[in-house]
Amino acid sequence: MRRHARFFLILIAIIFILHINLVIPAEDFTPDEQRLLRTEGVTITEAKRIGNEQTGYRIFTPIPGKEGFVKIVGANHFSIRNVNIETAQKIVIQAGDVETSVIFGDVDLSGLDKYIKITGDANTKNIDVSGNKFQVKYDKDNPPKFVLNDEGELDAGTKFETKAGTYTLRGYKVDLPEGSIVEYLEDRVVVSVPSDSEVIPTVDENIQGLLEIKTNQAGYLKTQGGKLQGLQKTNGDFNKKETRLFYSFEDGKIRAYVKNQYYYFLNEEGGVDFSFVNTRFGENNPELDLVFDENQLSNRPSVLVTDNKIGSVFPKGKGAIVVIGSGNRLGIDNIEPSKKTLSFQSYDGHAIITRGEAGKISVLELKGKSLYGPDRESFFREDNNKLYWKDSHSIEEVNHGDGAVALRVELIDNKGEKVNFQVFTTNENYHVSVPEGEIEGPSELGYFIGKAGTIVSPSVAFNQLTPESRKIFTELTEKKQKKLVEDILKKGDFSTLETLLKKTPRRANNPITGSVKIEGFGEGSNVGKTCSGTIVGFGNKVYVLTAAHCVDLPGYKGEVEGMSAEIVAFSHPDEGSDLALLELTGTPQQINDMKKRRIKIAKTEDYVKVGDRVAQMGCGGGLHEPRICTVTGIDNSIGIGGLTTSQRRGIIGESGGGLFFKGRQIGVFRGGDAYANLKSIHKLLDDASLSQLYKFILIFFK
């Protein structure tokens, strides 16, 4: 009997609890509406409250222009249609034209199709939208809002702040940091995240519309390609701004793109990897793709960013302008903003730079009409197999420097095949066209000598040498070159190469090594003047033969390559042959080094004839380079212009440079195409009692 009584009391208690849960106060409804509210549901045309002051009211309001529907299914469980619910915590839930369950608490969801369930505590709310589960941060001043469409999915008007976690936003699956603000718009979902956030979407299900990721203040976003920072230009200065990155789902894959004008990528240390300019900014369609896999490139304007490649791509117009930064991923370590620069732009094709293989310089591949800006100069293509040069910049929006960096440029024709030559740029702003397969020397330090004498190489180590050391290396025999490389490789690096080459004996009678620069030798008009000269001599004597207009009057003392220099022979430029001879004095080591570089002067005046191909030396542009030309005239009289060539020059710094034939000096450059000839040189030396500089004098002793 007691057992039955206990069971009866428990049953009564359960019925009472169920009754209390079902009889939720709904004072804004009539008694008949309250009965229907718990059975069939009722329609509403104005705001109605359900609840009381103790538990808090939930306000049910019909969507404007719609007839709302509300049904109490159970304790904290409602079924609504075309209704907006505002809870006592100001959380808003809105359902569309399809009946949707709204649940506040742990309720069995079996059999429910379209629903939103909200649980949690005062700070965090657990949200379940028809199986899409996530957490949101609750802030009474900015409470979340959830709008569901007819499919029971979140729709435009939804806005909430996240806890750290994984979210599915209209089919985009993303990991979001805490404090992100998610807002659903008609055509996209916008997510505002803290700077330094990495948000890379994947496909979870059928994707709808766009996903826009932006920083909540001026800052960068982490992408597959690195740290992307948006910029704005104000009065010529660039400043950081909020960064926006868009995603869409097209052709079975996720596409990433930007819309603003200026951006750069940062490396892990915060240095500038590279910057780019969206040239389509301001047009009807300013979208510029960011592509992180070369196999995903399309016909759209794109910036390619991989671990070892940076590119501008657009097969049907002018693409993005790319400027390589000093903290680049390519291993180019001597770039300096506005001083030594490297830029490029695609045009009806692509411009893609690839980090060089181990020990090699980077390679820029050009297709179509794409442009390459090594400094303030430009290279551009207008047809399939040619590369044009002009001495001014063609790429706008770039603060071009005066210096270039070592680079190899390859051309791709319209069939996608390499053109059979490549262009090399040196660190000193020289550019040389190199036929395919013409690199000489050991593979580790291969090089090519251009027609003007400029030496280029695909080797990083070789390009880091001074121009003088490069020349020394090319003068070595192949056997010595290989031995030098082998010795360096045994030690593990090329850092000692410069030192070793400086200790390498120089080959005599080399016009390149036998030429010197003469700067500011004299007073008055000669101050600041730059000229060239040739090292000559005999025994322990070292002299420099140059033009008289490059130096002061006889007896003046100055310096050449750190050695004391005095004018010991002079033929006035207005009255004579415009020739001068300087005697150098210095330490025994300096004298010994200069002796190794001496050039012999041809001893007979008929040593060269009209039609012979000769080499002119001069330091125009700051570097001694031979220029090949042909002798066009010889006048065996004494005076200015006794020898002329096919090469008419007027570059500052070349005056006084030598003219050479078969390793012997045959003239001194005056200007234009005119040289002092051998007869004039011999007379200058004879008058100074220095005939030994060109004659072989034998002295016999008894």
Give one DSSP letter per residue of 283-352, joined into a string: SS---EEEESSGGG--SS-EEEE-SSEEEEEEEEEEEEEEEE-TT-TT-----BTTTB--EEEEEEEEEE
Q: Are strands 343-354 and 309-324 parallel, antiparallel or unpaired?
A: antiparallel
Tokens of 664: 């012997």
Percent of the chain whose predicted confidence (pLDDT) is above 70: 91
pLDDT in tens, 442-487: 888 999 988 777 899 999 989 988 888 888 888 776 777 888 888 7
* CB proximity list for 598: less than 8 A, separation 6 or greater: 508, 509, 514, 535, 536, 537, 542
How many Å apart are CA 375 and CA 335, to the nearest integer? 11
pLDDT value of residue 245: 98
Residue for token pair 């002061």: 552
pLDDT value of residue 21: 41
How many Å apart are CA 298 and CA 256, to the nearest integer? 12
pLDDT value of residue 649: 65
Buried b (16+ CB within 10 A) or exposed e, 238-254: eebbbbbbbbbbeeeeb
Partners of 250 in the beta sheet? 253
Q: Are 401 and 417 in contact (CB under 8 A)?
A: no
How many Å apart are CA 641 and CA 453, to the nearest integer? 25
pLDDT in tens, 27-86: 899 999 999 999 999 999 999 999 888 878 999 999 999 999 999 998 899 999 999 999
Q: Are 67 and 45 in contact (CB under 8 A)?
A: yes
Residue for token pair 């990083």: 460
Partners of 630 in the beta sheet? 613
How many other CB atoms are there within 10 angstroms of residue 270's CB atom?
9
How many Å apart are CA 449 and CA 430, to the nearest integer? 12
Q: Are 401 and 340 in contact (CB under 8 A)?
A: yes
Residue 386's pLDDT band (boundaries 50, 70, 90)?
A: confident
CA-nearest of 608, 632, 627 to 617 is: 627
Residue 17's pLDDT band (boundaries 50, 70, 90)?
A: very low
How many Å apart are CA 71 and CA 508, to the nearest integer? 104
Q: Are 425 and 405 in contact (CB under 8 A)?
A: yes
pLDDT in tens, 686-698: 999 999 999 854 3
DSSP type of residue 579: E
Backbone angles phi, psi at 41, to 5 degrees: 90, 160
How many Å apart are CA 142 and CA 91, to the nearest integer? 9
Output the 3-class SS for 197-261: EECCCEECCCCCCEEEEEECCCCEEEECCEEEEEEEEECCEEEECCCEEEEEEECCEEEEEECCC
| Collapsed DSSP state (helix, strand, coil) of residue 617 | strand
DSSP-H helix ranges across 536-627: 588-595
pLDDT value of residue 508: 60
Fold entry, domain 515-693: Thrombin, subunit H (2.40.10)
Residue 257's pLDDT band (boundaries 50, 70, 90)?
A: very high
Q: Angle at Cα 127 formed by Cα 122 and Cα 132, nearest 5°?
A: 165
Residue 205's pLDDT band (boundaries 50, 70, 90)?
A: confident
Residue range 142-157: mean pLDDT, rounded: 94
DSSP type of residue 403: B
How many other CB atoms are there within 10 angstroms of residue 22's CB atom?
12
Residue 685's pLDDT band (boundaries 50, 70, 90)?
A: very high
| Collapsed DSSP state (helix, strand, coil) of residue 94 | strand
The residue that leads in pLDDT, 248 or 23, is: 248
Q: Are 85 and 50 in contact (CB under 8 A)?
A: no
pLDDT above 60: residue 387:
yes
pLDDT value of residue 425: 94
CA-nearest of 321, 325, 292 to 308 is: 292
Partners of 71 in the beta sheet? 79
| Collapsed DSSP state (helix, strand, coil) of residue 692 | helix
Backbone angles phi, psi at 337, to 5 degrees: -50, 135
Residue range 370-393: mean pLDDT, rounded: 85
Domain segments of the chain: what residues? Answer: 20-163, 437-502, 515-693
How many Å apart are CA 508 and CA 374, to the nearest integer? 35
The residue that leads in pLDDT, 474 or 661, is: 661
What is the C-alpha radius of gyration for the chain, rounded to an integer number of angstroms?
41
How many other CB atoms are there within 10 angstroms of residue 46's CB atom?
9
pLDDT, the chain, mean: 88
Partners of 410 in the beta sheet? 365, 422
Residue range 334-354: mean pLDDT, rounded: 94
Burial class (CB in 10 A: 0-12, 13-18, 19+), 345: buried
pLDDT value of residue 16: 40
pLDDT value of residue 701: 30
Residue 226's pLDDT band (boundaries 50, 70, 90)?
A: very high
DSSP-H helix ranges across 596-657: none
pLDDT in tens, 262-318: 999 999 999 999 999 999 999 999 999 999 999 999 999 999 999 999 999 999 999
pLDDT above 70: residue 15:
no
Q: Are 10 and 19 in contact (CB under 8 A)?
A: no
| Collapsed DSSP state (helix, strand, coil) of residue 382 | coil
pLDDT above 50: residue 560:
yes
Residue 20's pLDDT band (boundaries 50, 70, 90)?
A: very low
Tokens of 212: 């826009």
Buried b (16+ CB within 10 A) or exposed e, 357-371: eeebbbbbbbbbbbb
Percent of the chain whose predicted confidence (pLDDT) is above 90: 61
pLDDT in tens, 96-127: 999 999 999 988 888 898 999 999 999 999 99
* CB proximity list for 103: less than 8 A, separation 6 or greater: 76, 77, 78, 109, 115, 116, 117, 118
Q: Are 72 and 94 in contact (CB under 8 A)?
A: no
How many Å apart are CA 88 and CA 240, to the nearest integer? 41
Residue 18's pLDDT band (boundaries 50, 70, 90)?
A: very low
Q: Are 194 and 221 in contact (CB under 8 A)?
A: no
Backbone angles phi, psi at 388, to 5 degrees: -100, 155
pLDDT above 60: residue 4:
no
Residue range 515-544: mean pLDDT, rounded: 85
DSSP type of residue 4: H
Residue 388's pLDDT band (boundaries 50, 70, 90)?
A: confident
Termini Cα distance of the chain: 156
How many Å apart are CA 46 and CA 382, to the nearest integer? 71
Tokens of 541: 């004597």
pLDDT value of residue 553: 81
pLDDT in tens, 477-507: 677 788 888 877 776 666 778 777 776 655 5
Q: Are 58 and 46 in contact (CB under 8 A)?
A: no
pTM for this prediction? 0.71
CA-nearest of 378, 381, 377, 379 to 369 is: 381
CA-nearest of 376, 375, 351, 381 to 363 is: 351
DSSP type of residue 356: P
